[in-house]
Chains A and B, each alone.
Chain A
Amino acid sequence: MNGHLKRRPVLIPGQRPWLGFLLLAAVLVAVPFVAALGGQAWVRIANFSILYIFLALGLNIVVGYAGLLDLGYVAFYAVGAYTYALLASPHFGIHLPFWVILPLGAGLACIFGVLLGAPTLKLRGDYLAIVTLGFGEIVRIFMNNLNAPINVTNGAQGITLIDPIRIGDFSFAQTSTFLGVSFSGPQKYYFLLVALALLVIVVNMRLQDSRIGRAWQAIREDEVAAKACGINTRNIKLLAFAMGASFGGIAGGVFSAMQGFVSPESFSLMESITILAMVVLGGMGHIPGVILGAVLLTGLPEALRYGIEPLQRGLFGRMIIDPESLRMLIFGLALVLVMRFRPAGLWPSSQRRRELAESAD
């Protein structure tokens, strides 16, 4: 059925997609074991790449599908992370199970999203950018300072000893053996994260080809005409915004559990911009593009750390530019250059390329 709805090729185009998927699955399973050869640190890097894929695809619904610029995405991530941290750590002595806290964190983030989006989404798009930016700062200020007179967030020190995700006696933090294969903590989280990432990919794909997805596209194309077609544009945009926020909340909870530690430092504006850059540089609204963006930008700092640092020492005998600021410089320049020369991103959808070709006329 639905022969008319063109199926957008996802991940692996070709005659026999199952072959591609099989290959992909094999690679996905192999990654944590190959990475472990270089040490568990590499497994953690792989885990963060996937966590960022999850975050970026959540933001993709907001930025890519609904065309809204959210500059405070990390605030929702923070809400999820602190919800988890406060309800599963010795800080308050509360230890709720993850299946209670993760949905709770997502729900809270969603509520914040609605509170923030409802007044601003009827206005011009760039106001949303600035309001979300401001919200991100508010959340950060509260995280940093809400340690007195009642110690809620423990201020800049953050919260430690957060419970790992645990199902009965099965904890994600310890090494355990299945069928003779030993799985380390990070490796177990890896598979959990892959499952979550697949979930968000399916959500993205299905939304795109749905009544809601068409409404988002219509709004991006011509908001007045979309309204005249009976689309309640504010609600539909709010839906995208709230969904993005919920995904941010889930990611935050998983982050908390995986790290065992959260502090305001992890939720800076730069983090928001990094996630936005993943979406924009990869290819707004295009799932493979966004995944590419997330992998590239999580890999970049590692590459810089292991590549540029020795290179600089080798060439100049000392560090000329510290890798952190070099990373930021490359980020900034990449944003500017990509907007200039590949405004649809590195791997855009054919749809988006057309839209841009149109507006350049």
Chain B
Amino acid sequence: MVRHQRLVAESLTMDTLLQQLINGLTLGAVYALVALGYTMVYGIIGLINFAHGEVVMIGTMVAFTVIVFFAGSGMPPLLILGVGLLVSVVVCMVLGWALERVAYRPLRHAPRLTPLITAIGMSIVLQNVAMLIWGRNYITFPPMINKQIYEVGGASFTNVQVAIVSLAALVMLGLIYLVHRTRIGMAMRATAQNPHVASLMGVDINRVIAMAFIIGSALGAVAGCMVGSYYEIAHYQMGFMLGLKAFTAAVLGGIGNLAGAMAGGLLLGLIEALGAGYIGDLTGNFLGSHYQDIFAFIVLIIVLMFRPSGLFGERTGDRA
């Protein structure tokens, strides 16, 4: 499992602060993209798609395979990366669509627990299929980009981080355009409001739900490629923790709310990075930075306790 070991804190200085902010931003951009996949599906059919983290993992693995395949071909590295990203996005879109069609659609009217358990089942299946294909060991990405390190005020960041953050921003802008300016986006928003009324208005609900899965998976694939190129390693179990945290980010921002998922992702990335940077100092070195993973869950529990509709979610009265 990818642990963010490189965020080890050395000392409590402003350098650390700046450094952790940069790292947190990178991490947050990835969480935000994955969180969008959770929030879109939840917003429309109220399902926690546990298998979404695995879709992201498959995205990383596919990109890895494509990159390794072309690595010796003499193609320019950026082109190889682009092809890897593209193939991975397409594969994940098909996977997302298939997941909805085969596993979830037949359970549309089943009791709530049923699709949730199916989602867990699908997540196990995908993990083990990935293990059979790509093996049970960590796989290392061949370095494609000449990593350049920039220094600002004692903190350093790489061109890969810049690329990740800007690509994430671009993709999110695209999503906002899609949801607010296109017919399918409008249909999605209408369905999220009230599926029954939307269907009366001629919206094809099945198509909208399939689209939510497809778009969410595409975003997941992009995130998967980012994770792969940032950490340069991948593992068949990496999707689980990533997915769990991204879901936390979605809840943090207010589940079902797109802008909330983006903000929640960034916020969670920052909380984690800062938490990892300062946990040693906060606890008198009792707890070290390998406790980074607990922040997400502590945040989750606190949010659910005090503001279950999320930081940006509307408080909806429960309908009796």
Same complex origin of A and B: yes
CB neighbors of B among A328-360 (8 A): 328-329, 331-336, 339-340, 343, 355-356, 359-360
Residues of chain B lying within 8 A (CB to CB) of residue A343: 107, 110-111, 114
Q: Are B110 and A360 in contact (CB under 8 A)?
A: yes
Q: Are B251 and A127 in contact (CB under 8 A)?
A: yes
Segment among A130-138, A180-188, A206-214, A246-254 that sits at the interface with chain B = A130-138
Give bound CA distance, A120 to B303, whole Å: 10
Residues of chain A lying within 8 A (CB to CB) of residue B114: 339, 343
Q: Are B116 and A331 in contact (CB under 8 A)?
A: no
Q: Are B125 and A336 in contact (CB under 8 A)?
A: yes
Chain B interface, DSSP helix/strand/loop, else mixed: helix
Q: Are B121 and A325 in contact (CB under 8 A)?
A: no
Q: Are B300 and A134 in contact (CB under 8 A)?
A: yes
A280 within 8 A of B: yes
B113 within 8 A of A: yes
Q: Are B291 and A123 in contact (CB under 8 A)?
A: no
Give bound CA distance, A332 to B290, whole Å: 30
Interface size band for B: 35 or more
Residues of chain A lying within 8 A (CB to CB) of residue B294: 137-138, 141-142
Annotate A141-165 by CB proximity to B: 1 below 8 A, 0 otherwise: 1100100111000000000000000
Q: Are B251 and A130 in contact (CB under 8 A)?
A: yes
Q: Are B112 and A335 in contact (CB under 8 A)?
A: no
Segment among B13-21, B205-213, B240-248 that sits at the interface with chain A = B240-248
Q: Are B132 and A127 in contact (CB under 8 A)?
A: no
Give bound CA distance, A133 to B296, whole Å: 12
CB-based nearest B residue for A127: B304
CB-based nearest A residue for B240: A269
Q: Are B247 and A130 in contact (CB under 8 A)?
A: yes
Residues of chain B lying within 8 A (CB to CB) of residue A141: 290-291, 293-294
Q: Are B320 and A224 in contact (CB under 8 A)?
A: yes
Q: Are A359 and B111 in contact (CB under 8 A)?
A: yes
Residues of chain B lying within 8 A (CB to CB) of residue A198: none
Q: Are A332 and B244 in contact (CB under 8 A)?
A: no
Given contacts A343-B110, A356-B111, contact A134 B296 (CB under 8 A): yes
Give bound CA distance, A138 to B248, whole Å: 14
Q: Are B301 and A69 in contact (CB under 8 A)?
A: no
CB-based nearest A residue for B131: A325
Q: Are A328 and B128 in contact (CB under 8 A)?
A: yes
Question: Within the complex, what minimum Cβ distance (angstroms) separates B62 from chain A?
Answer: 19
Q: Are A334 and B121 in contact (CB under 8 A)?
A: yes
Give bound CA distance, A8 to B129, whole Å: 42
Q: Are A335 and B129 in contact (CB under 8 A)?
A: no
- CB contact between A137 and one of B115, B118, B251, B293 (< 8 Å): that residue: B293
Q: Are A329 and B125 in contact (CB under 8 A)?
A: yes
Q: Are A335 and B290 in contact (CB under 8 A)?
A: no
CB-based nearest A residue for B47: A126
Residues of chain B lying within 8 A (CB to CB) of residue A340: 103, 106-107, 118
Give bound CA distance, A331 to B294, whole Å: 28
Q: Are B304 and A119 in contact (CB under 8 A)?
A: yes
Residues of chain B lying within 8 A (CB to CB) of residue A356: 110-111
Question: Within the complex, what minimum Cβ distance (angstroms) separates A148 from chain B?
Answer: 8
CB-based nearest B residue for A339: B118
Annotate B223-260 by CB proximity to A: 1 below 8 A, 0 otherwise: 00000000000000000110010011001000000000
Annotate A95-135 by CB proximity to B: 1 below 8 A, 0 otherwise: 00000000000000000000010011001011101110111
Q: Are A137 and B48 in contact (CB under 8 A)?
A: no
B117 within 8 A of A: yes
Q: Are A145 and B301 in contact (CB under 8 A)?
A: no
Most chain A CB neighbours (cut-off 10 Å) among B128, B129, B294, B300: B128
Question: Within the complex, what minimum Cβ distance (angstroms) separates A195 from chain B?
Answer: 32
CB neighbors of A among B14-48 (8 A): 46, 48
Annotate B192-217 by CB proximity to A: 1 below 8 A, 0 otherwise: 00000000000000000000000000
**What are the 3 A-B residue pairs with the smallest beta carbon separation, nearest first?**
A335-B121, A332-B124, A134-B297
13 contacts between A and B (CB under 8 A): A69-B117, A123-B308, A126-B48, A129-B48, A130-B247, A130-B300, A131-B304, A138-B298, A328-B127, A329-B128, A335-B117, A356-B110, A360-B110
| Besides the known contacts A127-B308, A331-B124, 12 further A-B residue pairs in the complex with CB atoms under 8 A apart | A67-B113, A119-B301, A130-B248, A134-B296, A134-B297, A137-B241, A141-B294, A145-B291, A150-B286, A328-B127, A329-B128, A336-B121
